[in-house]
Amino acid sequence: MKAMKKPTHAALAAALGIDPALVTRYKRRGMPVHSIEAAQQWRSENLRVHYTPEKDYTAVDRAIDGEIAAGRACDLMEAAGELLERGGNVYPLLDPLRAALSAVPPSQRRRVGVHFAVLDLMTEAVAKEIDQGDPHGLIEGTLYETSRSDGERVDMGAFWYAVAAGEIRLRAKSH
């Protein structure tokens, strides 16, 4: 199981209220990039920062909230994985885990380490429908495109993450 991934340069830039290009420059000067808190501490100890009250700090709050949400999702995923490996009943953890995964903003989702056996449990119903044929009529939620107009492939991890988070699910069957 991997630990939580380090924040992106964009998340660090938003949290520090700087241009993303400065993140690279500060990193070369010794700024840690493994967490937003460490980068903020380094900045307060090593740079003179001018306070500008007209700055929009909502991006900072969103970045920190996203990091907290990603940490919670990582913790729950790890707990579910350990419980599953020990033969325990993981099903009571799946709904809280699904909610935790959904709370992570898209910009932070790559930081959430997954336990593949738990992910398989959370996505098995949708995977079964996809294996049986065209799922578009059976699945609700935003289906991710598999390629972009520029020919670049889209990461299918985003699709399966959304399935695990309950953002893409099977439609209720009508009789």
What secondary structure letter does DSSP report for 168?
S
Comparing CA positions, the residue from 73, 112, 104 lying closest to residue 167 is: 104
**What's the pLDDT tens digit per position in 122-147?**
999 888 887 877 666 666 665 555 44
Q: Is residue 52 part of a domain?
A: yes
Q: Is residue 159 part of a domain?
A: yes
Overall pTM > 0.95? no
**Cα dihedral across residues 22, 8, 61, 29: positive or negative:** negative
Quote the number of domains for the chain: 1
Q: Is residue 1 part of a domain?
A: no
pLDDT given for residue 81 in this prediction? 94
For residue 124, what is the enclosing H or E element? helix 116-131
Q: Is residue 86 part of a domain?
A: yes
- Separation of CA 38 from chain center: 20
pLDDT given for residue 56 in this prediction? 60
**Cα dihedral across residues 68, 96, 104, 77: positive or negative:** positive
Q: Is residue 3 part of a domain?
A: no
pLDDT given for residue 1 in this prediction? 47
Q: Residue ranges of the chain with pLDDT lower than 50?
A: 1, 54, 146-147
Structural domain of residue 75, as residue ranges?
9-170
Helix (H, G, I), strand (E, B) or coil at 153: strand
Q: How many helices (H) and strands (E) does the chain have?
A: 7, 2
Contact 115, 81 (CB under 8 A): yes
Q: Is residue 50 part of a domain?
A: yes
- Look at phi and psi of residue 133 and say left if phi exceeds 0, alpha if psi is from -120 to 50, else beta: left
Q: Is residue 175 part of a domain?
A: no
Q: Is residue 34 part of a domain?
A: yes
Q: Report d(CA 15, CA 140) in Å as an integer.
A: 34
